Amino acid sequence: MKKTLVAATLASLAFSGGIASAQERICGTDIAIQHLIANNPQLESAYTQYEADVKQRTAALEAQNTNAAQKTTATYNVPVVFHVVLSQAQIDEIGGVSGIYDRIASQIDVLNTCYTGQNYNTDKGKILTQFQPLFGNPNITFGIAHTDPNGGGTTGVEIKIAPATFTGFDVTDNNIKKSSGGGFTTWDTKYVNIWITHITTASNGGQVLGYAYNPGLAQSMGDASLAGVVIDYLAFGRRSSIRQKFFGTADKGKTLVHELGHYFTLKHIWGDLPVGGGTCDKTQPHSDDDVADTPPQKDANQSTCPSGVKPNCTNSPGGEMYMNYMDYVQDACMVMFSKGQVTRMQTEFTPAGGSYQLQFNGGTLNWPTGISAVEAKNTFDIVPNPSNGVFSINFANTTADLRAVTVVNMMGQSVKQINTTEPANSLLIDMKGMPAGVYTVNCRFDEGIVTKKIVIE
Ligand SMILES: [Zn+2]
């Protein structure tokens, strides 16, 4: 007799811990680059040259965009790979492996909302009237890669359990990007590489939440494998329950929105001088963001949530654009890129840009064709298919090592996950109410993943 498990969504698990105490948020991007330059002063000129190139290419694209016929209207579909390096205790802190997948799904959702400007109506009230016409839509969508650089199938998520003594990776420590250093080796820059780990506390006691290397800059500074974003596991994903542990107010997925801004060449809105060292003299090096429509700003608005007009360097109408993703305000309060920032990011997708290759790698969002050994051994059928939302996964053999079933939509977002350790011949999945379309069902076994498509009508 076949045993059937009725699946239940794991909306939230038993999380231990509460909200981390409110401390200052720190972005490590400038720290990481300055550390590289300090160790190798020759890189200063490479950095300066690269910045000048980006500025010039952005100006060229801006000029092109003023000619309506040539205006960039492309949407860029970007494949992402997540490399997770955490101790078992840290993984347990965020709800185990399924907690990691939940945060990834929520994070992808936040990215796709912010990078297509879909938050405008909800967040308009947080944008001063003067800045509303400057709200930009980058038109970039993110999905989880399912074909790896060798053509093999992948969940797009690599997880490594660090030793119990693991204290984190320092912002200047690139071992996270090396398998030999205890991390995961960078895939090529046809993917956006994102490492989720713990970043050690900064010398001033603040928490570095994330840092990024732009791919073109990494290459021009002599190490293309640095390209990508490293993010602290407690600043990753969007809160869905009060019991989840996050770092202070960094619980709405905006740290990665900010860091990917750097990945696509954006600077902090006040420039790239250290926080507390900013200046209103925009003729000084590193004291501007090289974007024309973001008003001159002296320094960061750190971990605050300002309201009303906050006078800026030139007392321009509207004052500081503190609601910009490239400031340091609380997650809930950063809600926009400017149009000028969007042009600078889109320059990255032109032939000389560091992310040019990304747009041709959208095929890796799909699973590869062909049958693997694990698939042959663990084959299953989905009945009925097409389905009205309720369907059964029937395994050809009783499963011995099935760990999880994940249903992923066309955007690469996980919409359903069931964890299991019990042997089963079939699983009943209820997805009533989900939008019609093609979904991917991933059955994760110890030895690999078997995947099939399901059509929901
Ligand atoms: Zn930053």
- Tell how far the Cα of 207 is from the centroid of ligand 1, in angstroms: 13
Q: Which residues belong to CATH 3.40.390.10 in the chain?
A: 25-363
Helix (H/G/I), strand (E/B), else coil: 122: helix
Token pair recorded at residue 380: 């299953």
- State residue 8's pLDDT score: 31
Helix (H/G/I), strand (E/B), else coil: 231: strand
Distance CA 270, CA 155 (A): 38
Residues of the chain where predicted confidence (pLDDT) is lower than 70: 1-23, 72, 203-204, 370-373, 376-377, 379, 385, 396-397
The structural architecture, per CATH, of the domain 25-363 is 3-Layer(aba) Sandwich (3.40)
Active site amino acids: 259
Tell me, what amino acid is at 393?
I
- State residue 370's pLDDT score: 66
Q: Which residues belong to CATH 2.60.40.3080 in the chain?
A: 371-456
- State residue 373's pLDDT score: 65
- State pLDDT tens for residues 81-94: 999 999 989 999 99
- Tell how far the Cα of 368 is from the centroid of ligand 1, in angstroms: 35
- State residue 376's pLDDT score: 61
- State residue 247's pLDDT score: 94
- Tell how far the Cα of 111 is from the centroid of ligand 1, in angstroms: 16
- State residue 371's pLDDT score: 52
- State residue 23's pLDDT score: 65
- Tell how far the Cα of 246 is from the centroid of ligand 1, in angstroms: 19
Query: For the chain, how many residues are written?
Result: 457
- State residue 232's pLDDT score: 98
- Tell how far the Cα of 262 is from the centroid of ligand 1, in angstroms: 7
Token pair recorded at residue 331: 């997650």
Pick the CATH number of 371-456 from 2.60.40.3080, 3.40.50.2300, 3.40.50.1860, 3.40.1190.20: 2.60.40.3080
**Cα-to-chain-centroid distance, residue 359:** 16
Strand order across the beta sheet in which 437-445 lies: 414-419, 402-408, 437-445, 448-456
Helix (H/G/I), strand (E/B), else coil: 38: helix
For the entire predicted model, the pTM comes to 0.79
Buried b (16+ CB within 10 A) or exposed e, 60-90: ebbeebeeeeeeeeeebbbbbbbbbbbbeeb
- State residue 19's pLDDT score: 32
Distance CA 187, CA 90 (A): 24
Helix (H/G/I), strand (E/B), else coil: 325: coil
**Cα-to-chain-centroid distance, residue 72:** 24
Taking a 5 Å cut-off on Cβ, the residues next to ion ligand 1 are 27, 29
